[in-house]
Amino acid sequence: MTQPPRLTDRDTLLRNRARALRSDAPALFLQEEAVLEVKERLIGVNRTFTSPALVTGFPDLWQNAFPQAAIVTDDAVLALEPGAHDLVIHAMTLHWADDLVGQLVQCRRALRPDGLFLGLMFGGQTLHELRACLAQAETQITGGLSPRVAPMAEIRDLGGLLQRAGFALPVADSVQQCVSYQSPLHLMRDLRAMGEGNALHFRRRTLASKALFQAASSLYCANFPAADDRIEATFEIVVLTGWAPDASQPQALRPGSATGRLADALNTQELPTGDKAGPKNG
């Protein structure tokens, strides 16, 4: 079986998270926002879950929010027992997964029939301002590019990945947070305090030049200003929702099984192909 290409330097990712938690002021506000998003969506489901599991890189924060959940680290092989849970939450780590579909498949297998999966991750609009400015500045200075921000999936592709993983009723939607910072440097410091610094496997291991960040900062301030001489940064949280298949779930009708006519529903007259249908008289 072909192994997926390696995206993440796992040791570096774990060090980044540990350093963020050791900080006097960890910037976990997006994790906290994700917690609120999950709670709001679970209220909408209107079901009592008795055996939840939670996959996270920040176990204390999520355990406090969901004290009944079994906490699992986001390793390549998840410590989830097949069919043991009625709810699995993959909390803000999927954007670092080498094998995104593999993570989804493992979560589906851990669910009982008609169990719910919620996966939250950073989406493709996240830090688009910073990525564009770093790329332009590096191209101008060095004539090339190096990986500095993790590639993030676009929402239009993620619903299909849920289907590939075997989920029923798959939905992918997103919530955007626009955050203002005093400068691009303050944004990059905040990323370190989030534990979201560069942990790409193929990142350049030498220190970037001061000129690169000065050029990127100038481009950022010129192209993405916010009020009061600040800059704006976008974070997109994609929420993946899917259900473990079960016979009780709504099923698509078989082709040709409809009992009503579309023309009647639209209040139009059905005519042969080529003619135009118009509203019924009376």
Does residue 123 register a pLDDT over 80?
Answer: yes
Secondary structure (DSSP) of 131-163: HHHHHHHHHHHHSS----S-----HHHHHHHHH
Domains of the chain, first to last: 10-247 (3.40.50.150)
Over residues 51-82, the pLDDT tens digits come to 999 999 999 999 999 999 999 999 999 999 99
Kindly report whether the global pTM for this prediction surpasses the value 0.75: yes
- The number of CA neighbours under 13 Å toward the Cβ of 188 is 16
Over residues 245-258, the pLDDT tens digits come to 988 887 755 655 55
CB burial of 112-136 (b: ≥16 within 10 Å; e: otherwise) equals: eeebbbbbbbbbbbbbebbbebbbb
Does residue 20 register a pLDDT over 90?
Answer: yes
Angle at 179 between CA 135 and CA 141, to 5 degrees: 15
What's the mean per-residue pLDDT of the chain? 88
In the numeric block, the tokens 């509203």 are attached to 279
7 Cβ contact list (under 8 Å, min separation 6): 96, 97, 98, 150, 151, 200, 201
Angle at 132 between CA 129 and CA 134, to 5 degrees: 105
| pLDDT computed for residue 265 by the predictor | 59
Name residue 12's amino acid: T
Query: Where is pLDDT greater, at 159 or 56?
Result: 56
| pLDDT computed for residue 41 by the predictor | 96
103 Cβ contact list (under 8 Å, min separation 6): 55, 74, 78, 90, 94, 97
